[in-house]
Amino acid sequence: MGTVTYRDGIAILQLIIFPFIVVAALFIWNRTGWKAGSKIWRFAVTLSLIRIAGSISSLLTINNDSYNVEVAVAVCELIGIAPLLLTYVGLLRQIDTQQSLPPRLINGVAIICVIGLILGIAGVSSASDNGTYHPDSIVKASMGIFLAVFVIILLLTYLLFVRVRPTMRVFQKKLFLAIACSCPLLVVRLVYSALGDFTTDSRFTVLVGSPTIYLCMDVLEEIFAMIITMVLAVSAVLEKDFVQPGSIRQPEEGKIEGV
């Protein structure tokens, strides 16, 4: 029987935390409306399921340290950034009830993130050499896309805040706060992945890097960001002034609102 390592303990931590995040995300999704919330909260659910699957795969290596299992762990680790970022793109949709931002712009950011996800999945197999993971140009391109998407999210958050500030509802304030509080954590999380992909520092290498750095710069950052987001989002959807995304429309030019 294999020995439970420090990294296995990290996997156990994720296996404990992320089921609760799934439940919270499903609750918010239900309150938002399954149809209206499908472009928002499915990403938090997807991220949690990926982390659960990755943790299970990691624990399987205790007694079955095969190449295929290690690839599964690497895939789950690398592709989790996409649903993480898409969760915050979704928060902008949740906030923007009056579609102050062009829907095509938000959709475009989501599509770019999905392209990064596809490149990341495609790059994992080609980046594995003799059982050792070495990020290639495809993986680096994927990481570059994710970094660009994060910058765009920050810019859109500021722009949306400026536009809705005069008429901001309580639930919107809480969702803006969720993004603001999560941003420093996301910065550290993305820096960790970027260092692993763009440098040769072995401490940031997927699967074999420093478990302490992995815990502090990746796992805990992601967990705390999602917990903050779930807590504030649950509180937001329970507010009396909460409205579903897109349920409020700007009045057409020349017409009085409500007519």
Residue 151 within a domain: yes
> Mean pLDDT across the stretch 8-13?
92
Cα separation, 25 vs 40, in Å, equals: 10
Residue 24 within a domain: yes
Q: Which residue has the higher pLDDT, 137 or 179?
A: 179
Q: How many C-beta atoms surround the C-beta of residue 103 within 10 A?
A: 11
Structure token digits, residue 150: 């994060």
Residue 246 within a domain: no
Confirm if 4 and 205 have CB atoms less than 8 A apart.
no
Residue 38 within a domain: yes
Cα separation, 238 vs 125, in Å, equals: 44
User: Which residues have a Cβ under 8 Å from the Cβ of 187 and sit 6 or more positions away?
Assistant: 150
CATH no. for residue 171? 1.20.1070.10
| Domains in the chain, number | 1
What is the residue range of 196's domain? 6-237
Q: What's the distance, Cα to Cα, between the start and end of the chain in Å?
A: 72
Residue 245 within a domain: no
* Residue from 151, 256, 157 nearest 165 by CA: 157
Mean confidence (pLDDT) of the chain: 87
Residue 250 within a domain: no
User: Which residues have a Cβ under 8 Å from the Cβ of 92 and sit 6 or more positions away?
Assistant: 101, 106, 153, 156, 157, 160, 179
User: DSSP 3-state assignment of 80?
Assistant: coil
Residue 1 within a domain: no
Amino acid 251: pLDDT: 46
What percent of the chain lies above the pLDDT cut of 70? 88
Cα separation, 91 vs 230, in Å, equals: 11
Instruction: Indicate if the pLDDT at residue 67 is higher than 70.
Output: no
Question: Mind listing the pLDDT tens digit for each residue in 43-56?
Answer: 999 999 999 998 99
Question: Mind listing the pLDDT tens digit for each residue in 82-124?
Answer: 999 999 999 999 999 888 999 899 999 999 999 999 988 887 7
Residue 36 backbone phi and psi in degrees, to 5 = -65, -35
Amino acid 63: pLDDT: 76
Which CB contacts under 8 angstroms, 24+ apart, belong to 177-184? 177/232, 178/91, 178/228, 178/229, 178/232, 178/233, 178/236, 179/88, 179/91, 179/92, 179/153, 181/228, 181/232, 182/88, 182/225, 182/228, 182/229, 183/154
Question: Mind listing the pLDDT tens digit for each residue in 213-256?
Answer: 999 999 999 999 999 999 999 999 999 999 887 666 554 444 44
Residue 242 within a domain: no
User: Which residues have a Cβ under 8 Å from the Cβ of 236 and sit 6 or more positions away?
Assistant: 94, 170, 171, 172, 174, 175, 178, 242
